[in-house]
Structure 1
Amino acid sequence: MPGVNGFKEYCSRRKPILSQAVDRTLRELFQDLHVPPDETFRSLFQDGKLIRGSLVCLVNESLGGDLSSAIQRSVAVEMIHGATLIHDDFVDQDRTRRGKPAAWTITGARRAVLLGDVIFASAIEMMSDLSADDGLAVSRAIARIAKGAFQEPIDASELNRRLGAEALSDTLYDAIVDLKTGVLFGVACELGAIAAGASADVRKAFHRYGLLIGEAYQIADDLQEIEHHLSNGTVCAGDLAALAPALVRFGANPQSAIAPLLAVERSVLSPALSKCLAEMRRRMAQELERRLKLARLEVAGLVAGPRERAMIHEAPRELIAMFNEA
């Protein structure tokens, strides 16, 4: 990767070849399904920065692998990510995604969910055709992502019941950020190591590296949500339900601040909840920083070339900076 200055530039250089490969795969898939390759669906997979696919390539090249061996694995990771967005938009009843109609608003809920399932299964098939290790890695990742989504509290009335029964664990947030977001970053880095022919120990280390990056990424996303509520001074019950695991994990006495607001659609932030959110922001920023440092430690000494080593060490922090810029 001579002449590349940082992960952001690396992503921009890899995006064209990854976009072409993703587009080719989707066209073949849609052709098999006898479904026109609607621009809305393709935008799900190509309008972003393709950072997960780029991580596959970065790890592979940093460990001495050939870029060509990483492309199909990168495509599989981006396909899985796109399928999760299709499912998430329907579950959350979001009608738009990146300024375009959500998939379920075009195809209907049933076909959108089934399309996501087909994409998941196709990614597993693609990777199983490469090797047993690749197939096992992505099938485990998809199962873990589904478990994370299943555990998220999205209904305000259910959340109120669980809070009242003290049934919302302070460990739930860590489980969700690991399963929901960390897993896909973890498997991306693991596939990069597999593509480079790395040993089992090195694969595991890079899997943990990716997990920590993904967890930090989700914390950064939640921090933006908290900043939004603090600046606006309002919050709705649905937003609180989504933030509940973080509130329990990082907030100060969250139950007394949350419970009264779950019964109304939108509320002005009380002084108690504002204080709770501000304390959350401080603690979550510390946790994000801790995970970025741990990610770097996981792969210390595993990359030989000085330029490649610097890229791997700085990528976690630069990736979060890219997210915050978006």
Structure 2
Amino acid sequence: MPTTSTTTVKIPGTKITLHENPADPVWVSSAYGTAQQGEGSPAYVRDAKAGKFQYFGNFQQPTVSPRGTYVAALSVTTLSRTDYNTIRLVTPATGEDVELRTADKPGDTMDARWNADGRHLLMTLYTGRPGSLNIAGFVIVDAATKSVRSRLTPGGRKGGYSWGPDASTLLRQETDGAISFVGLDGTVARSFRDKGDLMNVGTATLRIGTVTATVFATACPGTLKGVCLWDATTGARRAVIPSDKSSGDKSLGDKSPGDKSPGDKSRVFNGWLDSEHFLATVTKTGTTRLVLADLNGKTQRVLAEGPATELKAVTLWYSRARA
């Protein structure tokens, strides 16, 4: 990711501005939700070639696959069904638009996540009610063949499933706090204890100093403050990303490193953008900015900004959407 922006783009119907660079390999490929009442919660998907946002529908949660080959959309209305769950799968190049049956009720499939291969989609099956959800299993969709695999599995807590290092391995946190790598048959390949609360962003291969390592991320355990990065094979701690603006966030006008003016909030870690940077949310005095930060916790660039109430209600989906 370049550390400078050269263009700006507005999210339709919002006051949210994207700061972009034509060289960006990762960009906002869809947006959904609204802070305004009575607007039907519109969703937009971005054309990978023209770069324009196109209306996708109301009450949809579209997520674009890497390189933009597919768009998977969970419809909010499926939550009211009593028979089974569905996922909408669109192929922009051909116009194909199908609805696939996934897992039977009771339970709801949520948290759609594409694998890096751009073909496999993972969803977690939850039972219970909002605020007291339990993990009941997972669903994997092969977008190329339109095949669906669902499996009920014991174990796992509220964070849900995320992708492991490949399309045959998943990651979850157990009810006892252990973090497990799980095969598609539901069996646990290996587990690590005392690593903190798992961040549901999957694994990433990062350049940490002079070493390249595949890691998973947690909120650090015990007295450690920040995001801990753990080796996905050995469980050894590879790095700690500072928890907030200990290095100073000049994009928000900090007076000095570590200075927090009234209205500041700590930075929120939101997943990976490339092998050296992560996406973070920082809110100050009614404005929220999405920023590109390095593994030392230093902000390199503002990627998006807008009213805090609006960015809280609108979901921006980042993906490697351009071929």
TM-score, with length taken from structure 2: 0.30
Determine which structure has the larger helix proportion and give its number: 1
TM-score, with length taken from structure 1: 0.30
Determine which structure has the larger strand proportion and give its number: 2
Query: Whose RCO is larger (CA < 8 A, sep 6+)?
Result: 1
